[in-house]
Amino acid sequence: MLNDKTAIVTGAASRRGIGKATAKRFADAGCRVAIFDLDADAAAAAAADIGPDHIGMACDVRDPATAKDAVAKVVEAFGHVDILVNNAGVSQPDKILEITQENFDLVIDSNLRGSLNMSQAVIPQMIERRTGAIVSIGSIAAQIGGGIFGGPHYSAAKGGIHSLTKSMARELAPHGIRVNAVAPGTIDTDIFGDKLTDEMKTAIVANIPIGRLGTADDIAKGCLFLVSDLADYVTGVILDVNGGRFMH
């Protein structure tokens, strides 16, 4: 499905994370993948793990100059960038009166500003080639007013990603660039650490019609659809992948 295409997936070094699962799905579909992460060694190891034709490098998406430099390296290595997945982000469980300015900035910068910085870094060469697909990872937390371990600032950041997605989709469609987002429900990844107890999982699953937590690969499959030709008439969509927990 993605033969001869190049993708960048940010925040993709975590072994059980959405980014790594998405990178693997893309690689299996014939795509060359560049994995970005704060940890250069972890990014390189994740890239090697999905196959020999992929690369990994350090990139702090919060810094626009760093994002542009990293994208330039990918273009140098692979010739062009067809796909961007804005997955990098930080979640915090702080309640409204607990949110410090420092933590607010960290969550907004890592999620929302990072998505903007990376998009700005890839869009010029996508416009030049008149093709491209951008997918950002939003969240059910932006739709229902909070998540399991995401505070109001996390919901705000993900809500911003949803709005940014629609605005970019409208602006970039005439240039042949599609922009969409995936809004995951509760996904069983390492982001929860050991905080998600069996009792909590049971309570959460009770409110999911499909009857289970999501997996990183569930989100990866949604991303694969949105960047593939199967979705060539789809732009500005926030794709809910939540097992039916939130319907609208």
Active-site amino acid positions: 154
- Do residues 242 and 143 make contact, with C-beta atoms less than 8 angstroms apart? no
Helix or strand run (H / E) with residue 114: helix 114-129
Question: Which residues sit opposite 135 in a β-bridge?
Answer: 85, 180
Say how far apart CA 75 and CA 241 lie, in whole Å. Answer: 31
The SS3 assignment for 209 reads coil
Q: What sign results for the dihedral spanned by CA atoms 246, 138, 92, 143?
A: negative
Reading the block at residue 94, the tokens are 């702080």
Nearest one of 156, 160, 165, 164 to 104, comparing CA atoms:
156
For residue 162, which amino acid is it? H
Going from the C-alpha of 133 to that of each of 97, 225, 232, the distances in angstroms are 38, 11, 9
* Beta carbons within 8 Å of 158's beta carbon, 6+ residues apart: 111, 138, 139, 141, 142, 150, 183
Q: How many CB atoms lie within 10 A of CB 65?
A: 10
Q: How many CA atoms lie within 13 A of 152 on its CB side?
A: 7
Say how far apart CA 65 and CA 149 lie, in whole Å. Answer: 31
